[in-house]
Structure 1
Amino acid sequence: MPNRLSVVMIAKNAADVLPECLASVAWADEVVLLDSGSTDSTVEIALQAGAKVFINENWQGFGKQRQLAQSYASHDYILMIDTDERVTPELASTLKAVLDNPQPDAVYSIARRNLFLGRFMRHSGWYPDRVTRLYARSRYRYNDNQVHESLEAPGAKIIPLKGDLLHLTCRDFASFQRKQLNYATAWAQERHQRGKRVSLAGIFGHTFGAFCKTLLLRAGFLDGKQGWLLAVVNAQYTFNKYAELWALNQGYTENKTL
């Protein structure tokens, strides 16, 4: 008998993207959605699709929210996805095959195809952009990071799967920029709390390095105009992270949890 799958996601005000996400995993044994205080129809959409919905407005960061969401799942394996992601038919077939015969002490990585300003990127560090998302519920969980959280799986073998996870990263540029700024602030606050410091020279060194890494080392120029724009966006994000950390170090910014 195959192992059973719980698809787990966290959400807030995702009504515009949630229906297609849920439709792409309708074949799963269970869908668990943890909402963090939506004011749109996110909760209603999830319930109508048959998802198990829970609410936690005590936001402590992405890592802890994913941990809590996973605690509501009841099946053998977890597939952790975001509301702006879609499981392709090829990936769904691969996942079902894995559940029939999973390898012990293994977690599974999935290639994401990221959308940026109308183009699914093929370079720029945005493809294959592998993320470890399929794992045994009883053995692994996400770390506590406020942002850029990842699965804790020490000693586990990471097996790449066939098939892509479509990620609607940047559908609206203004919204994308606001999200990036929030991520940068949370990143800086977390590093500051750990006692990390940065100099002015470090700010500009990291910023220039991010631009060159995206455009040249990761062949962003092959993604055309979107590749050039993404290189600038990545540099801007890096600048915001380190400038905010520097400001916190100097006492110019209040360290408040988002």
Structure 2
Amino acid sequence: MPIAKKKVTALVITYNEVGYIERCIESISFVDEIIVVDSYSTDGTYEYLLNHPKVKVIQHPFSNFTAQKSFALKQASNDWVLFLDADEVVSEKLKNEISLKVETENDIAAYWFYRDFMFQNERLGYSGWQTDKNYRLFRKSKAKFSDKKIVHETLVVEGKSGIFTERLTHYCYKNYEDYKGKMLSYGRLKAKEAFYREKKFNYFILLAKPTWKFFNHFFLRLGFLDGRKGFIISHLNALGVLEYCKELKRLEKKNELAYYLVMP
């Protein structure tokens, strides 16, 4: 009796991803199930997904990345899950490698993927991203998202991990305002995460952390070799850290005000 093919579910979370989600969905059409959890997009993303014959789309309110991805994971029908960002694309060679790994390597619970970062349609060679890797393919029964982080969520894996040779393509930079908005949003979410962990704001951190972020990405991680693109990425990453510091200060002030308001 022939052995049944192992099925794969692709998961994506979205919010206003027109111009990116189409390419992502096309690149994962080889999987057995595609589920997208949309947090009430207003740019046509939901309508595109609703009318796509291979996609099951569910709208769910967004509170943080970990909660949204954990919700999406529960919707998957298959044990093997390929979890992508809406601006990531799977190449033909990577498709073949995914199919081969799922069918032949039975002792692996999750796989790391390296990523090529794209500045619009040009690859970033440096700027801190050259060693970036994330879990993207894993067994649902062997992994879950840690509730200790609400942004840049962490996958907790029970079992052995493997790593792919081929890279994901990540279209991280659409334009200046889009990437700036993304970095500011990440900064605010990281501040909430830090606040819940009782980390404290101080002015030294406000001065030091953004400066270090820029210096690290542009000089130590060789962003200057990417030229103008490297400068923009390093600057906006530092801006995200600055927003983290400012938001942490705002949260502390808000908490202090609430405390004094309830004092007898």
Question: Does the alignment reach a TM-score above 0.5?
Answer: yes
5+ residue gaps in structure 1?
none
Once residues 70 and 11 of structure 2 are traced to their aligned partners in structure 1, the CA distance between those partners, rounded to angstroms, is 10
Partner of 2:262: none
Within the candidate set 179, 195, 212, 1:192 is matched to 195
Within the candidate set 116, 120, 125, 1:122 is matched to 125
Aligned ranges for residues 1-258 of structure 1 at < 5 Å?
A: 1-47=4-50, 48-57=52-61, 59-144=62-147, 145-153=149-157, 156-251=159-254
**CA 184–31 in structure 1, closer or farther in 2 if over 3 Å, else same:** same
State the Cα deviation string for residues 70-124 of structure 1 (Å, max 9, x = none): 1111112001001111111111111011011124253101111112255311111
5+ residue gaps in structure 2?
259-264
**CA 254–81 in structure 1, closer or farther in 2 if over 3 Å, else same:** farther
Q: What percentage of residue pairs aligned between the two structures are identical? A: 27
Q: Secondary structure at the match of 1:60?
A: coil
Shift of 1:204: 1.3
Once residues 172 and 139 of structure 1 are traced to their aligned partners in structure 2, the CA distance between those partners, rounded to angstroms, is 37
Q: Stretches of 4+ moved more than 3 A in 1? A: 250-255
Alignment RMSD: 2.0
Shift of 1:252: 8.7
For the 8 Å contact 1:80–1:134, the answer to whether it is kept is: yes
> Structure 2-normalised TM-score?
0.88
Shift of 1:229: 2.2
Shift of 1:233: 1.7
